[in-house]
Structure 1
């Protein structure tokens, strides 16, 4: 089976898994080519029918008594909080604001909680005092403060948090206590704190570092969360903890496991992901990656014993443990998302893509003895050109998740090689942190040695190679072509070219580069320049296509401008495609027609420079 670029519009994105008393609800999102936008509706698993009319509905939340659903409906530039009876009837609007996220019912069912921005007054001149002043996907945030609110069912709103706090996540207990992950003005990115809020009183847990995924136990005694103290790196493995409210003590539940909580497997065919920890009675379930696959574990908090509940060649995006099994929104390496109960597939929304060839999994020993994992999507004609794909992060991974881009290139006549070099997630913490301060060293060797392994073991043509990647993968693409001329074509996307300017222009620059490159350019400028692909622009011989978005605040577009200008200065073959109104997540959540155009540009650049035979 072959797929074309227009088949992107066939993908059905499944998200927002929400259990009811006798049903499971979820959201289906589809791309609408004519409107160049997305439409989303809430569905019932029991009936496999649409439950809401859309066209932009999301975040279904079932009331504790099981009688009502609240959800969010986007109408033009505003978001409405809606409520609808589950047994039938019309939805009613409770409130409408510019933005709403993280909607939840109180455990008593008498009110809802949500996060929304408080906005300070501003005119066309931006007077900026806070850092960061912009953030990828959110735009300028210097005058916005994510705040926690509650709202009664009659529409009366109450503010729970205020300046100087910024809300990142929260949960509400059976006693109406709030556990909130908050940062404060001036606090470093990647650092925050966990607070228990009781009325006007706030109690901060005595732990410093990075918190996420906060969840109260059903009885309200424990707060579960994932945590890293960031003592070695911002990319340390995240561990699972519980905090006993009665004893005022925290306990790590996974410190004896060398895995990180969450799912970091890359996919261009999902719309968001759910929380990585869930309670079921006295057991706490959590999601983690093992290699390129997702696994679900549980911990009995009375015995503090964990066990693996579910694993396999799968990527789990949302999950819900129940008495009759674990419901999941999951995908496979050659199949987009569907809903499963344990190993049983319950839906077929993406049946068009069934039958795609499964890539070959391989492992090789790097030159220092470490085992590295990868995959090869191989055409029948082994002399076909090959494209090396490099993931971003760097602490993410490739694996058993669907990549439409890979299958488009494969269907266009290419072999596609992808792997998890040092720095990737899903393996030991040492494996992930080994590239800290050493970009372009062991990671580069792993990639090149892995490619050499594929050339030898799969009899691929060394004279027909292309390379592409985004974000950190874009950095590595730039690095490779500045240190090696074996590739005949390259596409760098949302990339880093200059570590010095990245420090001062990226929304995460000082914290990210302070950790990954080391220190600041003011006292370490030689090393910053040494780790900048721009330094090696004069060595580049590979024709390069630069793809960047003009509202990318993670890897700002000045990175693309500098690289383009340098290569033009050296009279190299280079083109640049700038996507207006898009950000760092163009390939994952950009406008549908822009996503298709990006895929066409990548495919056509390789066709023009690698010349695959029919």
Structure 2
């Protein structure tokens, strides 16, 4: 496998079912144009249904007469509508940004979310709100995501306004609108559910973090995932039902020590769908469990939860039909395809068939906790080994495809990836064990897992490399400041200084108060203790720093500080800055930047672990 094989990948997304057919989006990267092309496909006759070149989010009208979808260009997004029986697509409305399409139940209206922008007299930014910028969105101090509607004649109206910021919504059969919204004085990780009542919005009487909002088909219940954030912003989310008539709500799966949603890492997909779906009076919901996605079924009549579906896969999108569950899923050694229940029914990524399956392993940490991991073991004895560390920290590796890992494998490396303390997919205690203790139990899990692999798989401990992004970049920085075992390191979109991160990251104050503990104003010595920058004098490992100049999650000043400090002490360090990219470079950056990033990582490890220049 070579870097250019990236252009053979097909990214599948946006499943939409109507009667006996399914519509979905196929995206590919085009090397010559350095851009992505997206078209809507019909599954029944396996053909392109729209001409593209950037068509997304198909939504079939309730009567099946029209397909609504988004068509993107460089400067605008068009909400399109097209007759299902043929004919030209026409533009209903155009705006700078449009997302979250939904038809009204009578098919006369389409709802969508778009930004309301404050008008400025000049180019000076007058900022009064926090956060004032956000990763992937740029400066947002003068923008608010609002709910709109548009009729089939193109006449639109605004439904929400200041101070609300719409994050999700749903519309019931009888026209009720429920919304997940935040307001300015709330924390980043907090929001609320509101029910539209005339011109007012009635807030439900509980606070926390909500997502995946969906009315039952009869409109009597509202389902959502929820965390009250009382223990942490990263505590497990659970499934709740709110009774519209009497105002009661109940937790459906609080007895399950797993979190709602899919947080599996992958560099080979374009987005993910909602984690819960109604079908009649039953509710299907998705969780991660020990490296795979599992769909559970809750039956409203008998109040029972059933483990309904699992197939050693990571499920990115799923929809329900009379035929069963359609999903866009991937496996640890297979990119995305569409499945009907457990049967693969497409072959968009068949050129990646027959890739080796990594060896799964478990080891007992020094405090007795079982930790899960995988290794892609190169058949050549004595091959160098690269340790990959995921971000989050509350995400996980498992049954999801990582192009990067197989590229390194076919370049002659073993690749280790594991889920240390702090990861999702296990107990809440497992996930929260590192709060306030970054670089302690997580560091021990990673190093003990590496030692286990060295002994179990007879690896050469003189040829070890390490890399990771975001929190994984933090851990890369931390580890090379506390260990000299690695001969090469690549840190990506990383954290080096917790003190400055607090004030420059789009999530800094909330994230660090929860994960590091307190604020730097009251706890500065602890913040400095948990900053890899403190330990740069100890670094002996050649380090490549990869960062994007529009990363507002882990701002580029983190890379600048690390590079400058290492240079000051005469260390072996280089820095690669990607212009116009953000924190998601490896997942959604421009194609030439994504492949260039892979070339840099591969080249660095070849130079220092294989002696190739």
The answer as to whether partners of 1:110 and 1:153 remain within 8 angstroms in 2 is: yes
Superposed counterparts of 1:439-478, under 5 Å: 439-478=438-477
What is the aligned counterpart of 2:37 among 33, 36, 39?
Answer: 39
Q: Does 1:513 align with 2:509?
A: no
Q: Offset at 1:198?
A: 2.9
Residue 251 of structure 1 corresponds to: 250
Provide the C-alpha distance between the structure 1 equivalents of 2:116 and 2:453, rounded to a whole number of angstroms.
53
The answer as to whether partners of 1:222 and 1:244 remain within 8 angstroms in 2 is: yes
Q: Does 1:119 align with 2:117?
A: yes
Provide the C-alpha distance between the structure 2 equivalents of 1:430 and 1:481, rounded to a whole number of angstroms.
27
Residues 477-512 of structure 1, C-alpha deviation per residue, up to 9 Å, x if partnerless? 000000000000000000000000000000000000
Q: Offset at 1:612?
A: 6.4
Provide the C-alpha distance between the structure 2 equivalents of 1:252 and 1:107, rounded to a whole number of angstroms.
28
Provide the C-alpha distance between the structure 1 equivalents of 2:89 and 2:288, rounded to a whole number of angstroms.
39
Unaligned runs of 5+ in 2: none
Superposed counterparts of 1:213-612, under 5 Å: 213-611=212-610
Residue 102 of structure 2 corresponds to: 104
Provide the C-alpha distance between the structure 1 equivalents of 2:557 and 2:379, rounded to a whole number of angstroms.
41
Provide the C-alpha distance between the structure 2 equivalents of 1:277 and 1:98, rounded to a whole number of angstroms.
29
The answer as to whether partners of 1:65 and 1:109 remain within 8 angstroms in 2 is: yes
Q: Does 1:141 align with 2:140?
A: yes
Q: Offset at 1:324?
A: 1.4
Q: Does 1:200 align with 2:184?
A: no
Residue 57 of structure 1 corresponds to: 55
Paired residue secondary structure (1:483) = coil
Q: How has the CA–CA distance of structure 1 residues 354 and 187 changed in structure 2, closer, same or farther, with 3 Å as cutoff?
A: same
The answer as to whether partners of 1:384 and 1:613 remain within 8 angstroms in 2 is: no
Provide the C-alpha distance between the structure 2 equivalents of 1:14 and 1:478, rounded to a whole number of angstroms.
34
Q: How has the CA–CA distance of structure 1 residues 612 and 317 changed in structure 2, closer, same or farther, with 3 Å as cutoff?
A: farther
The answer as to whether partners of 1:546 and 1:574 remain within 8 angstroms in 2 is: yes
Residues 2-21 of structure 1, C-alpha deviation per residue, up to 9 Å, x if partnerless? x1000000000000000012
Provide the C-alpha distance between the structure 2 equivalents of 1:242 and 1:159, rounded to a whole number of angstroms.
28
TM-score by length of 2: 0.99
Q: How has the CA–CA distance of structure 1 residues 613 and 135 changed in structure 2, closer, same or farther, with 3 Å as cutoff?
A: closer
The answer as to whether partners of 1:297 and 1:307 remain within 8 angstroms in 2 is: yes
Paired residue secondary structure (1:349) = coil
Paired residue secondary structure (2:481) = helix
Task: Detail structure 1 runs of 4+ shifted over 3 Å in the superposition.
Answer: none
Residues 355-398 of structure 1, C-alpha deviation per residue, up to 9 Å, x if partnerless? 10000000000000000000000011231000000000000000
Residues 414-450 of structure 1, C-alpha deviation per residue, up to 9 Å, x if partnerless? 0000000000000000000000000000000000000
Paired residue secondary structure (2:499) = helix
The answer as to whether partners of 1:269 and 1:404 remain within 8 angstroms in 2 is: yes
Residues 172-201 of structure 1, C-alpha deviation per residue, up to 9 Å, x if partnerless? 001111110000012101000000113313
Residues 541-561 of structure 1, C-alpha deviation per residue, up to 9 Å, x if partnerless? 000000000000000000000
Paired residue secondary structure (1:444) = helix
Paired residue secondary structure (2:246) = coil
Paired residue secondary structure (1:450) = helix
Provide the C-alpha distance between the structure 2 equivalents of 1:505 and 1:94, rounded to a whole number of angstroms.
39
Provide the C-alpha distance between the structure 2 equivalents of 1:309 and 1:327, rounded to a whole number of angstroms.
14
- Give the stretch that moved more between structures: 471-480 or 103-112: 103-112
Q: Offset at 1:92?
A: 1.1
Provide the C-alpha distance between the structure 2 equivalents of 1:22 and 1:238, rounded to a whole number of angstroms.
33
The answer as to whether partners of 1:385 and 1:612 remain within 8 angstroms in 2 is: no
Provide the C-alpha distance between the structure 1 equivalents of 2:400 and 2:384, rounded to a whole number of angstroms.
23
Residue 29 of structure 1 corresponds to: 27
Unaligned runs of 5+ in 1: none
The answer as to whether partners of 1:413 and 1:613 remain within 8 angstroms in 2 is: no
Residue 186 of structure 1 corresponds to: 185
Residues 435-476 of structure 1, C-alpha deviation per residue, up to 9 Å, x if partnerless? 000000000000000000000000000000000000000000
- Give the stretch that moved more between structures: 431-440 or 318-327: 318-327
Q: Offset at 1:323?
A: 2.1
Q: Does 1:132 align with 2:113?
A: no
Q: Does 1:211 align with 2:210?
A: yes
Residues 398-425 of structure 1, C-alpha deviation per residue, up to 9 Å, x if partnerless? 0010000000000000000000000000
Q: Offset at 1:22?
A: 2.1
The answer as to whether partners of 1:386 and 1:414 remain within 8 angstroms in 2 is: yes
Provide the C-alpha distance between the structure 2 equivalents of 1:544 and 1:5, rounded to a whole number of angstroms.
21
Provide the C-alpha distance between the structure 2 equivalents of 1:377 and 1:24, rounded to a whole number of angstroms.
35
Paired residue secondary structure (1:150) = strand
Q: Does 1:84 align with 2:107?
A: no
Q: Offset at 1:72?
A: 0.3
Provide the C-alpha distance between the structure 2 equivalents of 1:304 and 1:545, rounded to a whole number of angstroms.
54
Provide the C-alpha distance between the structure 2 equivalents of 1:149 and 1:518, rounded to a whole number of angstroms.
40
Provide the C-alpha distance between the structure 2 equivalents of 1:198 and 1:112, rounded to a whole number of angstroms.
19
Residues 247-288 of structure 1, C-alpha deviation per residue, up to 9 Å, x if partnerless? 101110010111100000000000000000000000000010
Provide the C-alpha distance between the structure 2 equivalents of 1:279 and 1:248, rounded to a whole number of angstroms.
20
Provide the C-alpha distance between the structure 1 equivalents of 2:502 and 2:411, rounded to a whole number of angstroms.
38
The answer as to whether partners of 1:265 and 1:292 remain within 8 angstroms in 2 is: yes
TM-score by length of 1: 0.99
The answer as to whether partners of 2:311 and 2:342 remain within 8 angstroms in 1 is: no
Q: Offset at 1:613?
A: 8.7
Provide the C-alpha distance between the structure 2 equivalents of 1:77 and 1:406, rounded to a whole number of angstroms.
35
Q: Offset at 1:25?
A: 0.2
